[in-house]
Amino acid sequence: MENKLMYLVLSLIYYVHLIKCTEIFKPTNYTLNNLSTFKHKKILCNINSESECTTKGTYCDPFEDDAFCVLGTYLCLEDENEKCISIDESTYNVNYEMLISPYDELPLGERKLILNACEKINVDSKKCQTEVCQKNEDCFSGLCYSNSCITNKPIYVCSDMTINKNEMGMKCKKQNEMKCTSNSDCFSDTCEKSGYCGIRDKSDYEDIKEKKKINENFNKGMSRFFTTTVIIILIIILIIILLIICCIKKICCSNPK
């Protein structure tokens, strides 16, 4: 029993450490123009080895029902003076612009940036909002306005694509809530009637948001339950200790030396 308890405690510590050590994004030296024109040979690879991936910056990852040398996924501002950031898609869903559980539990300070943004006009009209920001540094866009991240430069999502059977490149298209004129402008392939890029499948998006809300409420309930349980256990332990002390005193009094 003690071994099982120790195993659970160690597993929990490792799990928390793993979450804290995982980087949701990394700074890079790429710009939007670099990635838009990036091409490399299409190479099959072994997922357990990256020795086949000889092009600088590429690594072996599942792609198109197989494993190929890829460059990954990036967010870029439409500004050649601004560097793109590399996104770990195991922690962040670029289509729905939300962290994947359990990384969505991390406070903003530990994950460092809010990655999506709205246009100022849509924040003012309450048509768009992001996670709450307090200062410009909270936002990848570099601008925090009325507690939402805004941008005056389009943000692009860049991801691997097949050019032909021998060559791969990067597709760079606009993030959700960026202005568009056609579906092909948007990474989601959805330019809404409002003239902004939108979620590819809104029903899925709403389901995810609802599930996330349910999970948040459940976690809050569990947290309260756990706190209450700990307090009750501590009170019981304290009462037991006091009773033991009282019993010891009575025994000592009834058996004077």
Q: What is the dihedral of CA 46, 48, 52, 54, to 10 degrees?
A: 140
Model pLDDT for residues 213-224, shown as the tens digit of each residue: 555 556 556 667
Model pLDDT for residues 159-187, shown as the tens digit of each residue: 999 999 899 999 999 999 999 999 999 99
For residues 25-54, average pLDDT: 88
Give the pLDDT score at 113.
84
Which of 101, 130, 109, 131 minimizes the C-alpha distance to 215?
Answer: 101
How far are the Cα atoms of 112, 114, 145, 162 from residue 140, in angstroms, in the given order?
A: 9, 6, 13, 28
Model pLDDT for residues 81-104, shown as the tens digit of each residue: 999 999 988 888 888 888 776 666
* pTM for the predicted model, two decimal places: 0.68
H or E element, residue 246: helix 202-254
Contact 92, 131 (CB under 8 A): no
Give the pLDDT score at 130.
92
Six token digits for residue 242: 């006091």
Model pLDDT for residues 96-143, shown as the tens digit of each residue: 888 776 666 666 656 568 999 999 999 999 999 998 999 999 999 999
Contact 102, 23 (CB under 8 A): no
